[in-house]
Amino acid sequence: MKVGIIGGGFVGSTAAFAMVMAGSASEIVLVDANEKLAMAQAHDIAHAIPFAHPVVVRHGGYGELDGAGVVVLSAGVAQRPGETRLQLLERNARVFADIIPKALAAAPDAVLLVASNPVDVMTQVATRISGLPRCRVVGSGTVLDTARFRALIGQRLNVTPKSVHAQVVGEHGDSEVLLWSGARAAGMAIDAFAAHTGRPLTDEDRAAIDRGVRRAAYTIIEGKGHTAFGIAGGLARMVSAIAADERAVLTCSILNDDVLGVPEVALSLPRVVGAGGVLETVLPDLADAEAAALRRSAEILKEAATSVEATL
């Protein structure tokens, strides 16, 4: 499958590299307002192809997106000193208003995969601008937060994260909800598994894992200025699921009709991802506190989206 990536910065270029290493696509086209950057990134990534999968990687303009099955939106502007979150949202919404029609003119059947932050609100903005069915405008959402959650539980229990089943829902951000009540390993509730293996999870352990998930981006950005590898892995995973019509269950964001009484809001829930984007959405069983937290997350995102949509 051909994949277009609009935005050749840290996230877009690292996502392209991850797709090459995973074999997620047959062709990748990098598009950026800075053509020299897009060209340099494409050349650099192409030099890794002999060590990975036979993927064609090149740069080009919007017309080169013709035939793409997925277009990743990783373009956006950086926050200015003293700028409010809403002002940043408004400027990024204007970027999307410019790039989305150009992308769809070349690739009208593509799934739009939104990576630009704040990803949930930008997914809602992209859905409104594009006019596409909601299932075809998919935000990376909490796919990365879920991976972080599983990784930290696995680390505490001394098992591979691939054997841990646990999810993060809601906002990709401060109000996200870690679903401890549904966390499982070996078919057992995570507390039972932990006790069985002699590594019981204390309240302090849970609090540390919560902080590790919720504050991960802040810690990484403080150390190196940006995040890229984790989200790139998540984007490559989502592209693989779409390309292969895998019907994988991933926590990602689309515009929902209603979430626990909050209407028209984009946030992450477990979703079946395959050809054409999101095929099904599942609202998992939630503890009362988790349901309340998810509703609050939806309210926060709804307020932000309503503010920025009024400017479109």
Active-site annotation, residues:
172
Q: What is the 3-state secondary structure (H, E, C) of 163-204?
A: HEECCEEECCCCCCEECHHHCEECCEEHHHHHHHCCCCCCHH
Whether the Cβ atoms of residue 100 and residue 130 lie closer than 8 Å to each other: yes
- Amino acid, res. 189: A
Nearest residue to 71 via CA among 159, 12, 142, 146: 12
Determine the Cα–Cα distance for residues 62 and 106; give it in Å rounded to an integer.
7
Structure tokens at 269: 């829930």
